[in-house]
């Protein structure tokens, strides 16, 4: 096949030997199967920033830190330099997260470096050695669905234990490999501590898994792993090896609206009294 422009520099520099075939193409990137010596790897080539929407990223990028005050100011001003830095940070996030998750034992593709804007990583294969299918593309029996759900929840726990939430987890970015489920696609990963929408994104991720796998194992539909997991995280009790039950007691107490309004008014009156005191002190001076 004709070598894609984004991969030619890697061939020229001897990073990879040849491009074997395209694997998939999406809004964010195109993925190819490449050869490096005796290894067959995946090469993820990110698309130009002009082809993608920065507005769609805002909810995910909240709470992320850029290296250097100049970069942060430029991104805040939405200058050309700032947009380039934002683009680079978006790509770098996936690379850094893959290394972090691989180190904590999560089932993700093993990264092999990031060169000239191209992410190299393991090619995830099925039992026959072919590219692993997405979870959305296969039929499961009940036992397999339970096994995959259990493995994915354990990896969601591992992610949250280091302060990360996938943010877009569903049957479309889970591959079913020979060794089990493998989670992919991390550029939109969310900071659990720094993003105001972290809880809702975690619940969406977990509920997506519950819905897709619950069609094969119906008892999964009544579980509440997301709520249980966030509760542990919020209390500071979450560990990477935490064993969840899927049960969660929801707070069904009715809010005392009158008490809330009274507290607000009380605080307002105190603020008025403090302000009057400051004004009187200034007049006496």
CA–CA separation, 263 and 272 (whole Å): 14
Where in 93-248 does DSSP place strands (E)?
111-115, 118-122, 164-165, 174-177, 180-183, 190-191
Domain ranges of the chain: 8-235
Which pLDDT score is estimated for 130?
92
- pLDDT (tens, 9 = 90+) of the chain, 285 residues, equals 789 999 999 999 999 999 999 999 887 889 999 999 999 999 999 887 654 455 556 666 776 665 554 544 444 545 566 566 767 777 888 999 999 999 999 999 999 999 988 999 999 999 899 999 999 999 999 999 999 999 999 999 999 999 999 999 999 999 999 999 999 999 889 999 989 899 999 999 999 999 999 999 999 999 999 999 999 999 999 999 998 999 988 776 666 677 677 778 778 888 888 878 777 777 776
Nearest partner of 189 among 84, 253, 108, 73, judged by Cα: 108
CA–CA separation, 227 and 245 (whole Å): 11
Contact 42, 112 (CB under 8 A): no
Which pLDDT score is estimated for 173?
95
DSSP state for residue 129 in the 8-state scheme? S
Contact 156, 169 (CB under 8 A): yes
Q: Provide DSSP, 65-101.
A: --SSHHHHHHHHHT-HHHHHHHHHHHHHHHHHHHHHH
Nearest partner of 36 among 24, 52, 50, 19, judged by Cα: 19
pTM above threshold 0.85: no
Instruction: For the domain made up of 8-235, give the CATH fold.
Output: Transferase(Phosphotransferase); domain 1 (1.10.510)
Which pLDDT score is estimated for 74?
44
Which pLDDT score is estimated for 278?
76
The H-or-E segment that residue 24 falls in is strand 18-25
Nearest partner of 169 among 132, 216, 206, judged by Cα: 206
Phi first, then psi: what are they for 127, rounded to 5°? -65, -25
Structure tokens at 274: 């403090």
CA–CA separation, 210 and 78 (whole Å): 38
């Amino acid at each position: 096949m004709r070598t894609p422009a984004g991969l030619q520099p890697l061939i020229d520099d001897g990073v990879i030997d040849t491009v074997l075939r395209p694997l998939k193409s999406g809004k964010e990137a195109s993925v190819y199967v490449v050869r490096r010596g005796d290894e067959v790897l995946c090469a993820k080539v990110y698309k130009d920033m002009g082809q993608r929407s920065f507005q769609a990223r805002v909810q995910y990028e909240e709470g992320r830190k850029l290296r250097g005050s100049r970069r942060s100011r430029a991104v805040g001003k939405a200058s050309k330099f700032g947009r380039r830095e934002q683009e680079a940070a978006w790509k770098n996030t996936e690379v850094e997260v893959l290394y972090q998750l691989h180190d904590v034992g999560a089932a993700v593709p093993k990264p092999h470096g990031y060169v000239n804007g191209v992410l190299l990583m393991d090619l995830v294969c099925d039992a026959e050695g072919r590219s692993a299918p997405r979870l959305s593309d296969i039929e499961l029996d009940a036992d397999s669905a339970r096994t995959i759900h259990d493995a994915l929840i354990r990896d969601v726990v591992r992610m949250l234990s280091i302060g990360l939430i996938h943010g877009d987890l569903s049957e479309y970015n889970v591959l079913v490999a020979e060794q089990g489920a493998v989670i992919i696609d991390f550029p939109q990963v969310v900071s659990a501590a720094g993003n105001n929408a972290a809880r809702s994104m975690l619940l969406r991720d977990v509920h997506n898994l519950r819905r897709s796998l619950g069609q094969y194992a119906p008892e999964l539909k009544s579980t509440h792993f997301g709520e249980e997991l966030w509760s542990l995280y919020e209390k500071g009790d979450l560990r990477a090896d935490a064993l969840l039950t899927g049960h969660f007691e929801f707070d069904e107490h009715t809010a005392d609206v009158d008490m809330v309004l009274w507290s607000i008014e009380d605080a307002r009156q105190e603020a008025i009294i403090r302000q009057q005191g400051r004004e009187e002190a200034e007049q006496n001076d």
